[in-house]
Structure 1
Amino acid sequence: MHKTPTAIQAERGNPVPHILAKLYVGAVMKNDPDCRAALQLIRMTIEEHCPPGVLPSEEAVNATFGPTLLGEAEALAKAIIATVEKLAGAD
């Protein structure tokens, strides 16, 4: 039986959002152009509206995780979390 990224990350003590598990099941096993386009839209939104430095470049993500949908999704999730933490600390 294959483990989902969420189960693997939980074993490592680093759980990821549930949406990543859905991306894994729905698209990571195949390179779905619609999922890639959706992740690109999320990336563009983060780049335009979130603090600089919370999201590594696509090249850095590819070098770290490989050019997978899951790698991009994990980088986006971490950028959202970093943004929320920065905003929460600004209060």
Structure 2
Amino acid sequence: MHPAMNITISIDDNKIYGKSAINDYWANCKIEGEGISIDMIKTTRKTDNAEKRRVEGDYLSILQTAYSIKIDGNKLIIYTRFIDEPLIYEEIEY
């Protein structure tokens, strides 16, 4: 989506969380097979420049409409109702 914004995501124990362009975010989620539903996403309340605020708003709006997830190798693929292309995350090796 915006690789330079360092957007991250983690999913475990029916929770989804990560770092968007500015803020940390989190929500409860329900996963059944490849289906996912995400409760209202909450964020911390930091601010930054207009571009980062726009990217963050877009990202969270898109993520909120997720309906399906798939793992393909080291990639997490999330399909949403908001855009035709899925969100694709690559695992970070430490």
User: How would you bin the TM-score normalised by the shorter chain?
Assistant: under 0.3
Structure with greater proportional strand content = 2
Q: Which has the larger radius of gyration?
A: 1
Structure with greater proportional helix content = 1
